[in-house]
Structure 1
Amino acid sequence: MFETLLSPLYDLYELGGAVTLILLFLSVISLATFLLKIWQFAAAGVGRRGTSKKAVDRFVDGQERDALTIAQGGCSPVAVVVAAAIRGILFRPDARADVEEDVQRIAQERLHRLTAGLRLLEAIAQIAPLLGLFGTVLGMIEAFQAMQGAGSNIDPSQLAGGIWVALLTTAVGLAVAMPTQLAVTWLDSRIENERVGMETALAAIFTRRITDRAPEAAARAKGPSVRKAEPSLVPGE
């Protein structure tokens, strides 16, 4: 049974050499990492904005306690950051600068967790074509060495077969690199959307969406305005 499992790998080695086996190994790592990232994003609630949006709306409307309860019920990175911001504003109203700095720290930690593994996928996407080209060069060297050794008895079919096998590694390298790069781009776009969601939610919380509210609501949020006394035109007053 063990020999049956190794037989395809041996055939692949005979066809494309050790470089093809390395590329196959990298493709397995790339696929496993991509599936792991999809599971991580789903478990972390990436892309789910309903809870955080509802919490921000409640906070802007002045229902801070309800907003905190709603935000704490969410599991997405945006909801976690929103809950931290509301909690800091409620319990440390006199230390707004410290609250903002600590919330930024939490946001960076959450985003850093999401980016784990992307460097590996980027490395595979970059090195796979180079490995394929390296295998092609090695195969071409072997083909020309065989041609030199054959002297005048060169069989064109054998030479073409050697070149075809050499070019196979380049095709395999590109086949590994292209989907890996697409996966990196897609994952990176999801993380960037999450980053924008965090920044938008935090801006809405710390500014209380002053520009999105009605003029009278904005005036109440700023506090009562003090009207400057106009000079009297009547002498003695």
Structure 2
Amino acid sequence: MIDFSALGSIFELGGPVVAILFVMSVLTLSVTIYKLWQFSTLRVGRHSHLSQALQAWDNGDGAGAQAQLAQSRSYLAPILDSAMHGADRHGIEARLDAEAGMALARLERGFRLLDTVAQIAPLLGLFGTVLGMIDAFQGLQEGGASVDPSLLAGGIWVALLTTAVGLAVAMPSSMILAWLESRTARERVFADMALRTVLVPESAAPQEISDPHVLQGHA
């Protein structure tokens, strides 16, 4: 259970900078949850049926390839189905590359936000620390020789709080972004390989494939 009184104390100590960093952390968490759901729904990284379909197509078994595609729930399945049914059409390669690029671009939505948080959060935390240090040393100047060192130390640790919060927000954001980018990069390589396999199979022209609408309902 969230201790709102503790959060209120942190906001009071760190000021508006900590409040902004808290909002950024909530945005990062929201984007992360959404991307995990999106990757799971689109079957990112799960290509067992697609790999079997490509193998069948490469061996000249068009019907077997279609049967495997029909069992796949990957976002790439409709694109590969179009490639199989239009492998001999002029300009189909460019069109399929564009469709695959659009699909991969959807996977990258939210990456810019995570990158922005990872870069801005530590700078924002440092900015809050600088402001806090200015206040602390102003108090030291106003107190003259009678300043209690413990008060100065208290002001300094409060000022450093914003830097700690900024790093605590930035580091997970950077790690999550790196993981998502690596998954997307592997998807890009697989999509390119899959399209090239369909358009330029090792075997002769595959056997006649089934109805072009066989994948409807499996996208």
TM-score scaled by length of structure 1: 0.80
Could you tell me how far apart the structure 2 residues matched to 1:209 and 1:63 are?
12
Whether the 8 Å contact between 1:78 and 1:194 is mirrored in structure 2 is no
Aligned with 2:116 (options 116, 123, 131)? 123
State the alpha-carbon separation in 1 of the partners of residues 4 and 164 from structure 2.
23
Deviations 1:51-105 (A, max 9, x none): 111111221222224423432442213333322211212xxx2x24x11111111
The reply on whether 1:54 has 2:47 as its aligned counterpart is no
- 1:171 CA drift (Å): 0.8
> How far, CA to CA, are the matches of 1:25 and 1:190 in structure 2?
27
Per the TM alignment, residue 131 of structure 1 is displaced from its structure 2 partner at its CA by 0.6
Distance (whole Å) between structure 1 residues aligned to residue 178 and residue 78 of structure 2: 25
Q: Larger helix proportion, structure 1 or 2?
A: 1
Among 162, 174, 180, which residue is 2:173 paired with? 180
Question: Where has structure 1 moved over 3 Å in runs of 4 or more?
Answer: 4-9
Cα RMSD (Å): 1.8
1:122 CA displacement: 0.6
Match of 1:129, SS state, is helix
1:214 matched to which residue of 2?
none
Find 2:77's aligned residue among 76, 79, 95: 79
* Cα separation, 2, equivalents of 1:106 and 1:66: 24
Q: Which has the larger radius of gyration?
A: 1
How far has the Cα of 1:149 moved from its partner?
1.1
1:174-226 deviation digits (Å, cap 9, x = unpaired): 1110111000000000001111111111122222136xxxxxxxxxx39xxxx
Aligned partner of residue 44 in structure 2, secondary structure: coil
Correspondences of 1:165-204 after superposition (within 5 Å): 165-204=158-197
Instruction: Mark the runs of 5 or more structure 2 residues left unpaired by the alignment.
Output: 206-219
Percent identity between the two aligned chains: 45
Aligned residue pairs, count: 204
Aligned positions of 1:1-237 closer than 5 A: 7-89=5-87, 93=88, 95-96=89-90, 98-209=91-202, 221=204
CA contact (8 A) 1:56 1:201 kept: yes
Structure number with higher relative contact order (C-alpha < 8 Å, ≥ 6 residues apart): 2
* TM-score for both structures, normalised by structure 2: 0.87
Partners of 1:50 and 1:10 in 2: how far apart? 50
Which consecutive residues of structure 1, in runs of 5 or more, have no partner in the other structure?
Answer: 211-220, 223-237
